[in-house]
Amino acid sequence: MEIDRKDGRTANQLRPLSCARNVLNRAHGSASWSQGETKVLAAVYGPKAGTNKNENPEKACFEVIWKPKTGQIGKAEKEYEMILKKTVQSICVLNVHPNTTTSIIIQVVNDDGALLPCAINALCAALVDAGIPLKHLAVAICCCLTESGHILLDPSKLEEQRMKAFVYLVFPNSTLSVLPEEALKVRGEPMEHGLITSSTHGVMSVDDYIRCLERGRAATSKLSDFFRRNLQ
């Protein structure tokens, strides 16, 4: 069944993506990422010597600073910072630069829905640009669940507010490897099907969540192709 979306997209259609790297002169790595009207700028500084208090000096440490479009940061932004920090820690190789801190600054340019996924994608592009050693990329997507149980991908702000529930999902990107495919599988599933980060808003059934996961995975494979083309 077809669902009407304001901008005439189909349920599975993402907004036009664009990614530019090395947009800032002084930053060690930077990228801007936009999905439709949502646009985020990410800058990476470091690795700098020393770690913050309460961090493990045997590993590389990250700090994420979230700058909203206007005003002070509140609790929502603090939560975003925490999610971004933990996501970055899970994709980076932490043993290469022990006892260092890498600062990541996220500047929101415009928010039109799916802000956190957009920031994660921008962040990944900036990390690649800065040459921080990564295990793999993280690809983020937002899935929305309508009252009637349909799933829409990459919602705009208006859609996000109207929906029953929405889910932010982050998956690893698909790998190109010389190893046989079977060797890369974890519990019979390909590596890129493993969920790195999940954050949900609103009440839904468990089955709906699993359906969102499947849709999200399918969409992130397209996103990771876009990443690969863009980074080459």
Partner 1 sequence: MSPSLTPYSSFPFLPPIRVKPSLASLRQQLLPCLQPQIYAIAKTSGFYRMAAANGSSDLYSEMEVDAFRRLFPLRYHEQHLLKSVRPDARKLGSARDTTLALGAVASAEGSALAKIGSTTMLAAIKMEIMTPTVECPDEGSIAIEFHMPPICSPLVRPGRPAEAASVISKQLSDTILSSGMIDLKELCLVGGKAAWMAYLDIYCLDADGSLFDAALLSAVAAFSHLNIPVVSLNEDGRIVLVSEDNNQLKLEKQPVNTEKRKLKLNSPPFSLTCLLHKNYILADPTAEEESIMETAVTVVLDSSYQLVSLYKPGGPVHAHTSVIQDCVALAKRRVKELQSVLNEAISDMEVE
Least distance from partner 1 to the Cβ atom of residue 170, Å: 8
Least distance from partner 1 to the Cβ atom of residue 9, Å: 26
Least distance from partner 1 to the Cβ atom of residue 6, Å: 22
Q: How many residues bind partner 1 (CB under 8 A)?
A: 38
Q: Which is nearer to partner 1, 24 or 120 (CB)?
A: 120
Q: Which is nearer to partner 1, 50 or 194 (CB)?
A: 194
Least distance from partner 1 to the Cβ atom of residue 22, Å: 26
126 and 42 Cβ atoms separated by less than 8 Å: yes
81 and 66 Cβ atoms separated by less than 8 Å: yes
Q: Which is nearer to partner 1, 211 or 222 (CB)?
A: 211
Least distance from partner 1 to the Cβ atom of residue 84, Å: 9
Least distance from partner 1 to the Cβ atom of residue 200, Å: 5
Please count the other Cβ atoms lying within 10 Å of the Cβ belonging to residue 201.
Answer: 13
21 and 98 Cβ atoms separated by less than 8 Å: no
Report d(CA 232, CA 6) in Å as an integer: 34
Q: Which is nearer to partner 1, 114 or 167 (CB)?
A: 167
Is residue 26 a contact residue for partner 1 (CB under 8 A)? no
125-to-18, 115, 139 alpha-carbon distances in Å:
11, 16, 10
Report d(CA 177, CA 182) in Å as an integer: 11
Nearest to 214 by CA among 164, 163, 171, 183: 171
Site for partner 1 in 78-97 (CB under 8 A): 78-79, 82-83, 85-90
Residue 219: CB partners within 8 Å, gap ≥ 6? Answer: 12, 14, 141, 153, 154
Least distance from partner 1 to the Cβ atom of residue 79, Å: 5
Nearest to 44 by CA among 92, 131, 124, 103: 103
Whether residue 190 has a cis bond before it, omega within 30° of 0 = no
Residue 117: CB partners within 8 Å, gap ≥ 6? Answer: 35, 140, 141, 142, 154, 168, 169, 170
Site for partner 1 in 96-135 (CB under 8 A): none
Site for partner 1 in 160-219 (CB under 8 A): 167, 170, 172, 186-187, 189, 191, 193-206, 208-210, 213
**Residue ranges that bind partner 1, judged by CB under 8 A:** 54, 75-76, 78-79, 82-83, 85-90, 167, 170, 172, 186-187, 189, 191, 193-206, 208-210, 213
